[in-house]
Structure 1
Amino acid sequence: MNLESPKISVKKSPEDVFNFLSEIKNFESLMPENISKFEVLSEDTFLFALKGMPEIILKKKESLPPNKIVLGAAGGKIDFSLIGNITKKEDNSSDVQLEFTGDFNPMMAMMIKGPISKFIETLVTSIPKAI
């Protein structure tokens, strides 16, 4: 399953956006209002939970400054990735898009598609306000 957030513009350089997303603790400021738990486990791993959902642990898996950062599931039964793609528009302006990829059975994919789409849209639209 592949889902993409809307592409948003940020009045920051790709380096600034990349540096912000590279700091795991900054993800707390991007989370939706229905977050029930957020905990930094290490410099590249954090745990979060949304009300009514199981806890999810994300770990920074790959980074290609200043254009791409990849977070992936750390443990658990489900393997997925959250990819931040950052492209330069002008000197102090970037486009950011989040991409969610995971291998799910058709039933699971149908159940989580809506909530995951809304979640990544919330994350990406929070970036301009948080930086």
Structure 2
Amino acid sequence: MNLESPKVSVEKSAQELFDLLTDMKNFEKLMPENIAKFEVIGEDSFLFGLKGMPEIQLKLKEKTAPNKIVFGAASDKVPFTLITNIESVATNSCNVKLDFEGSFNPMMAMMVKGPIGKFIETLATNMPKL
């Protein structure tokens, strides 16, 4: 299952946004309003829970400054990656888009497609708040 967020324009340099997104504590500012739990676990991972959904731990898997950051699920129970693509537009402006790639059975995919789509859209639209 692959989902994409809308492309969002951010008034920061690509490097500045990259630095903000590789600091786990900044993700709390991106979370939707229905967040039930957020906890930084280490330099490269954080745990979050949304009301009505199981808690998920995201771990930084790969980063290529200043254009790409890949997070993956820390648990093999729900295998997925969340890829942040940052595109420089000008000195103090960039575009960002999130790509979600998950391996779910058809029943699970049907159940999580809506909530995950809304979640990554919220993360992307909150990027200018950083």
1:66-114 C-alpha deviation (Å, 9 max, x unpaired): 0000110002411100110000111111000001001111111111111
**Matched residues in 1 for 2:8 and 2:45: separation?**
25
- 1:50 maps to 50
Point out 4+ residue stretches in structure 1 off by more than 3 angstroms.
Answer: none
Q: Counterpart of 1:126 in 2: which secondary structure?
A: helix
TM-score where L is the length of structure 2: 0.98
The count of aligned residue pairs is: 130
RMSD: 0.7
2:74 matched to which residue of 1?
Answer: 74
Q: What residue number does 1:121 align with?
A: 121
Q: What is the percent sequence identity of the aligned residues?
A: 65
TM-score by length of 1: 0.97
Aligned to 1:12: 12
1:48 alignment partner, SS class: strand
Secondary structure of the residue aligned to 2:32 is coil
Q: Which runs of 5+ in 2 are unaligned?
A: none
**Corresponding residue number in structure 1 for 2:83:** 83
Q: Which amino acid aligns with 1:83?
A: I
Map 1:101-112; keep pairs closer than 5 Å. Answer: 101-112=101-112
The SS at the match of 1:32 is coil
